[in-house]
């Protein structure tokens, strides 16, 4: 049996290829939207795609099922009651699919969504006993799927479904089964996931915190609240996946914009995302731009800050950075990319266009400013847990998502120094506030990490 796990860093998405080169058949499970990896495997291994399976309607990324189906002709397969508006092949409980020696048996395992499935996999070239289970978003390495995405009205039912699927349905399976989930570290479909991409049922039963409860009531008390932040993109992605994602050849693939074209799009209301690092953005940027630096979890931050239907203008270092950013955006359904500023910020500056800055305050500078008679307002945008673990004296706590939801209640003219853990979120928040009328916002360079190190090195009084 051929088996390969394909990872998408940042989003934490995991997809799978199972097949049999001898039979020339392969099945793809939970494909990402950019499908070249699957086409390359099919070509290199002499297999054709016979089935495409989505274990559920995904919330955090756009499925590549339609993209892959358009290139291979393979059917898209999901649970029979999946609320999709396109034609698909139903996979009811107990149904089996084969690709040569690879056999996949369907388990209906609701909880993350009402229509989630898992797939018990057997390599019949080795044994008639199953060897692994693809758990979708039911069971992760170190965590389980969040049950709140179906909506508040279904939360209690979904918590009960989650418990039944984990403790009863999976409880009947042997400890030795290898566990391969649809997500890993970085995903917002759970929390506290391990960086390890696979596990075993036995290990998870012994060490996964969510599998240690002695009763449903104890499980429900924990699983009924305290979910990871839900980006504004999730609702849009769910709708896109339920109706079928548009093919990428319908999206503009490259648009290197002149200053005049870029400025015209700005005037029409397009949103500017500047992906440069905080220091570069802080020194000089286009007025109204939001700084979301290109880092491994960029897609999650875009999903929290930018409305999915927005027309997007990008400021990037070069064409290669644009290509990488475009792929990240397409993965979460942000397809309205008008283009990028050809020549970058230098072109804008040489054209004599207006620029702004987001001052980067060092830990040493902030320490000196706090000792004056008129210290700045300190705005901590970290999570509650981070705040509880320690914060700057006199700071105001306003978690990142609250600023995005209601901007800020502070007077727009006050000097505000925003800080987070490393400076990444504070640059997003600071740039967002600047775009919404705050005229004296600054960001603590390096965040609490830099502050702690600077204090540790400070001479004793």
Segment-wise mean pLDDT, segments of 10 residues, the chain, 461 residues = 93 95 98 97 98 96 97 98 97 97 98 96 96 97 90 88 96 97 86 88 96 94 80 91 89 80 96 94 95 86 91 94 92 94 96 96 94 90 92 93 79 91 94 91 96 78 48
Q: How far is CA 434 from the centre of its chain?
A: 25
Cross-strand pairs, 36: none
Backbone phi and psi for residue 77, each to the nearest 5 degrees, phi listed first: -120, 135
Look at domain 2-234 and name its CATH class: alpha beta
Level-2 CATH architecture, domain 251-350:
3-Layer(aba) Sandwich (3.40)
Residue 84 CB neighbours (<10 A): 18
Cross-strand pairs, 354: none
The answer to whether 139 and 145 have CB atoms below 8 angstroms apart is yes
pLDDT at 242: 97
State the Cα–Cα distance between residues 437 and 431, nearest whole angstrom: 10
The CATH 3.40.250.10 domain(s) of the chain lie at: 251-350, 359-457
Q: What tokens appear for 234 in the block?
A: 């999730």
State the Cα–Cα distance between residues 221 and 460, nearest whole angstrom: 47
- Taking phi over 0 as left and psi of -120 to 50 as alpha, with beta for the rest, 446 belongs to left
- CATH of 359-457, picked from 3.40.250.10, 3.50.50.60, 3.30.70.100, 3.40.50.720, is 3.40.250.10
pLDDT at 253: 59
3-state secondary structure of 3: strand
3-state helix, strand, coil in the chain (%, to 5): 35, 20, 45
The CATH 3.60.15.10 domain(s) of the chain lie at: 2-234
State the Cα–Cα distance between residues 330 and 309, nearest whole angstrom: 12
pLDDT at 251: 60
DSSP secondary structure string for all residues of 15-63 = EEEEEETTTTEEEEES--S--HHHHHHHHHHT-EEEEEE-SS--SSS--
pLDDT at 265: 96
pLDDT at 391: 96
- The 3-class secondary structure across 67-125, one letter per residue, is HHHHHHCCCEEECCCCCCCCCCEECCCCCEEEECCEEEEEEECCCCCCCCEEEEEEECC
Q: What tokens appear for 358 in the block?
A: 């987001």
The answer to whether 315 and 275 have CB atoms below 8 angstroms apart is yes
Nearest in space to 74 (alpha carbons), one of 88, 95, 59, 94: 88
Cross-strand pairs, 98: 103
Residue 350 CB neighbours (<10 A): 10
DSSP secondary structure string for all residues of 360-427 = EE-HHHHHHHHTSSSPPEEEE-S-HHHHHT---TTPEE--HHHHHHH---S-TTS-EEEE-SSSHHHH
Question: Would you say how long the chain is, in residues?
Answer: 461
The answer to whether 427 and 444 have CB atoms below 8 angstroms apart is no
Parallel, antiparallel or unpaired: strands 199-200 and 178-181 = antiparallel
């Amino acid at each position: 049996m051929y088996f390969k796990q394909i990872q998408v860093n940042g989003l934490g998405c995991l997809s799978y290829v199972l097949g049999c080169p001898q039979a020339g058949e392969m099945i793809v499970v939970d494909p990402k939207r950019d499908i070249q990896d699957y086409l390359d495997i099919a070509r290199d291994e002499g297999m054709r795609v016979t089935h495409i399976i989505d274990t559920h309607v995904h919330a955090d990324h756009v499925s590549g099922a339609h993209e892959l189906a358009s290139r291979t002709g393979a059917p898209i397969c999901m649970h029979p009651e999946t609320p999709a508006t396109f034609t698909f092949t139903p996979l009811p409980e107990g149904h089996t699919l084969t690709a040569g020696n690879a056999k996949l048996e369907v388990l209906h395992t609701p909880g993350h969504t009402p229509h989630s499935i898992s797939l018990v996999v057997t390599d019949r070239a080795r044994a008639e006993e199953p060897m692994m289970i693809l758990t979708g978003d039911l069971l992760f390495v170190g965590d389980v799927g969040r049950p709140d995405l179906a909506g508040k009205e279904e939360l209690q039912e979904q918590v009960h479904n989650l418990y039944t699927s984990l403790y009863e349905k999976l409880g009947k399976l042997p400890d030795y089964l290898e566990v391969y989930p649809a997500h890993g570290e970085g995903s917002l479909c759970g929390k506290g996931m391990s960086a390890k991409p696979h596990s075993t049922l036995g290990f998870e039963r012994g060490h996964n915190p969510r599998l240690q409860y002695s009763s449903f009531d104890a499980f429900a008390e924990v699983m009924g609240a305290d979910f990871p932040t839900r980006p504004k993109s999730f609702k849009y992605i769910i709708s896109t996946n339920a109706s079928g994602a548009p093919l990428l050849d319908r999206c503009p693939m490259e648009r290197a914009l002149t200053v005049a074209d870029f400025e015209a799009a700005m005037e029409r209301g397009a949103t500017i995302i500047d992906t440069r690092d905080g220091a570069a953005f802080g020194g000089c940027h286009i007025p109204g731009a939001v700084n979301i630096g290109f880092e491994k979890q960029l897609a999650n931050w875009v999903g929290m800050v930018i409305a999915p239907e927005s027309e997007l203008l990008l400021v990037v270092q070069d064409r290669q950075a644009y290509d990488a950013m475009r792929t990240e955006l397409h993965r979460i359904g942000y397809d309205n990319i008008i283009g990028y500023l050809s020549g970058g910020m230098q072109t804008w500056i040489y054209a004599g266009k207006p620029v702004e800055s987001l001052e980067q305050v060092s830990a040493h500078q902030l320490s000196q400013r706090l000792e004056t008679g008129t210290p700045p307002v300190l705005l901590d945008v970290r999570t509650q847990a981070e705040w509880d673990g320690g914060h700057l004296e006199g700071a105001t706590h306003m978690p990142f998502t609250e600023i995005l939801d209601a901007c800020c209640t502070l007077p727009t003219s006050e000097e505000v120094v925003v800080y987070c853990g490393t400076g990444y979120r504070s640059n997003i928040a600071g740039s967002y506030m600047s775009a919404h009328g705050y005229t004296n916002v600054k960001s603590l360079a390096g965040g609490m990490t830099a502050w702690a190190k600077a204090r540790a090195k400070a001479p004793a009084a």
